[in-house]
Structure 1
Amino acid sequence: MERSRSAAALRGSTMTNPEHSMPEGDADAPLSVLDRVFAILEVVRRMTGPISVAGIAAEARVPRSTTARLIAELIEQRYLARDADGVTLGMRLFELGARATIPRRIAAAAAPVVHELAVRTGERVGVWVQQGTDMVSLTAVPGRLPMLPTRAGMRSPALTTASGKAFLAFCDDATVVERVGARLEPNDAERFHDELTTVRAATLATDPGDSYAGVLAVACPLMGHGRVVGALSLAGPADAMREERVAPLVRAAGVSLTRRLAAV
């Protein structure tokens, strides 16, 4: 009899436990951990103010104890924040959002500068941002060498390109630089770091033809709010384009674009 009463009590507590208050067989309820994290973030994103853990659990259709655990982890990683009134979005999401808009803002600010430099030199001019061990093209204007690609989104290795070296020379993240040069032999790695030091002093990088035979490229870093955000490059025939002529033009265009980026 005692065991029957205990079982009945257990069943009763289960029926009122918030963990089991979700509808059974809810096909739309998130199942994987990642789905639940996204569901929680989406609920908080929709709110105009702080929301309680219980409110998030109900809206996201995630068990309350699971919601509380995931929220604690998200707060620790600064994706969410908690105050006396409840849970809100954390600063890390705002930081990610700001970073995500950088390529679009750079491309928009670069358009007139790229066009002017291309008109003055007749060579291909492009703007690049770093992604992994590559530089990715945001925008480019063709020059007199038709074989040089201008497609947005194309990739070039940061290790050998002028744009890559211009970016890496001013990159504060040592892990990015080390990852790019990870496969170099010790002597080559030392020369690579020496070259970056030279680039940093000159605010200008060159590619004498490592990426494209017979093509000279000159690039400078693009700075945004105190850190490097990309590179501006110019490329043309090595036997006809004089570095001493185009280098000041590239550097001046980079300064102009950096000022434009500071205003957006």
Structure 2
Amino acid sequence: MLEKVSAILDVIERGPASSAEIAQATGISRGTVFRLVRDMARLGLVARDGDRITLGPRIPQLAAASDGVPAAHSWAERLAALRDRTGAFAVRLHQLHSPATRVCIAEVLDLHAPQRSQLGMPEPLRADPVTLTFLTWQSDRPGARVPAAVPYRDDTLTRTRRRGWAQGFSGPDHCVAIVAAPVLDRRKRVVAVLEISGPVAALTTTPGRTHGRSLIAVASESDVISECLYRKGVAVPGAPAQTVSILHLLTTTRRTG
């Protein structure tokens, strides 16, 4: 039974999932999943958000007791340092919200960033570096599906995995550069995607080659990862009810000198 509980936690660790999705991913019958989830919810190991199941409030408590969760300013300062080092106007962390949507769970913005906050707003997967990164590191999982709206070819996924990052451009005249890198757990499964975006003048016309290694280094830092992944279900005033994985919104001015 403990193996089945562990398998269920493994699935929702990657993002919220329905009972049917958990049953399909684990091979456990839907009836057994329903009963286990009910008992796990009683213990605070999982929580329900509509018809989807997420990690419960006991998980961050256990994480903090086992190896200590760093103070909130720790991850914020590191992401802000990445923003300042690269010249980006936004650093964001995304997780999958469903098989076809994602949600920004943490962001650090420059005070004068032209972009609006994306925090806690589920949005469809679209053809961009963040989605490409999710799909690249999910492509080797059994049953992984590529949404029809983002038909990346196998050679694109292979090339992205080999480099360790994805890059792209958006905005009028492609004036905004974007780089994304995966956040991997101990089993090398993608649990989030870290993204920087900013003017091409700062990030350059080859943003991945210029900043990819810095992004990978921050995405690999265990304390930043733990802070981001253990703070599940933290509500943000004004966020939509369906928000399931939110961190703090931090807007700071760029350091000078």
What band does the TM-score fall into relative to the shorter chain?
0.5 to 0.7
Residue 65 of structure 2 is matched in structure 1 by none
The alpha-carbon deviation at position 168 of structure 1 amounts to 1.8
Whichever residue aligns with residue 137 of structure 1, its letter is C
TM-score (norm 1): 0.53
Q: Are the structure 2 counterparts of residues 139 and 260 from structure 1 closer, same or farther at C-alpha, using a change threshold of 3 Å? A: closer
The answer to whether the aligner puts 1:234 opposite 2:196 as a matched pair is yes
Residue 254 of structure 2 is matched in structure 1 by none
Query: What does the per-residue CA deviation read over 1:133-182, in whole Å, with 9 as the maximum and x for residues that have no partner?
Result: 2221111112387322224113444332222221221125555532x2x2
Residue 157 of structure 2 is matched in structure 1 by 196
Residue 128 of structure 1 is matched in structure 2 by 94
Contact 2:75-2:223 at 8 Å conserved across structures = no
Q: Are the structure 2 counterparts of residues 232 and 192 from structure 1 closer, same or farther at C-alpha, using a change threshold of 3 Å? A: same
Distance 1:218 1:210 in 2: 14
Residue 163 of structure 1 is matched in structure 2 by 130
The answer to whether the aligner puts 1:177 opposite 2:145 as a matched pair is yes
Contact 2:44-2:56 at 8 Å conserved across structures = no
The answer to whether the aligner puts 1:254 opposite 2:210 as a matched pair is no
Contact 1:122-1:143 at 8 Å conserved across structures = no
| SS of residue matched to 1:166 | helix
The alpha-carbon deviation at position 115 of structure 1 amounts to 2.0
The answer to whether the aligner puts 1:220 opposite 2:181 as a matched pair is yes
| Bigger radius of gyration among the two | 1
Return the structure number with greater relative CO, CA threshold 8 A, min gap 6.
2
Q: Are the structure 2 counterparts of residues 100 and 112 from structure 1 closer, same or farther at C-alpha, using a change threshold of 3 Å? A: farther
Distance 2:201 2:169 in 1: 11
Shifted more, 249-258 versus 88-97: the winner is 88-97
Aligned residues: 179
| SS of residue matched to 2:203 | coil
Contact 2:127-2:149 at 8 Å conserved across structures = no
Contact 2:93-2:193 at 8 Å conserved across structures = yes
| SS of residue matched to 1:112 | helix
Contact 1:134-1:158 at 8 Å conserved across structures = yes
The answer to whether the aligner puts 1:140 opposite 2:107 as a matched pair is yes
The alpha-carbon deviation at position 94 of structure 1 amounts to 7.2
Q: Are the structure 2 counterparts of residues 76 and 252 from structure 1 closer, same or farther at C-alpha, using a change threshold of 3 Å? A: closer
Contact 1:232-1:250 at 8 Å conserved across structures = yes
The answer to whether the aligner puts 1:89 opposite 2:39 as a matched pair is yes
Contact 2:129-2:180 at 8 Å conserved across structures = yes
As a proportion of its length, which structure holds more helix?
Answer: 1
Q: Are the structure 2 counterparts of residues 257 and 205 from structure 1 closer, same or farther at C-alpha, using a change threshold of 3 Å? A: farther
Distance 1:76 1:194 in 2: 39
- Structure 1 unaligned blocks of 5 or more: 1-72, 82-87
Q: Are the structure 2 counterparts of residues 233 and 139 from structure 1 closer, same or farther at C-alpha, using a change threshold of 3 Å? A: same
Query: What does the per-residue CA deviation read over 1:98-141, in whole Å, with 9 as the maximum and x for residues that have no partner?
Result: 73568998995743331221232231111111123222111111
The alpha-carbon deviation at position 216 of structure 1 amounts to 1.0
Contact 1:134-1:155 at 8 Å conserved across structures = yes
Contact 2:178-2:197 at 8 Å conserved across structures = yes
The alpha-carbon deviation at position 225 of structure 1 amounts to 3.6
Root-mean-square deviation over aligned CA pairs: 4.1
TM-score (norm 2): 0.55
Alignment identity in percent?
A: 22
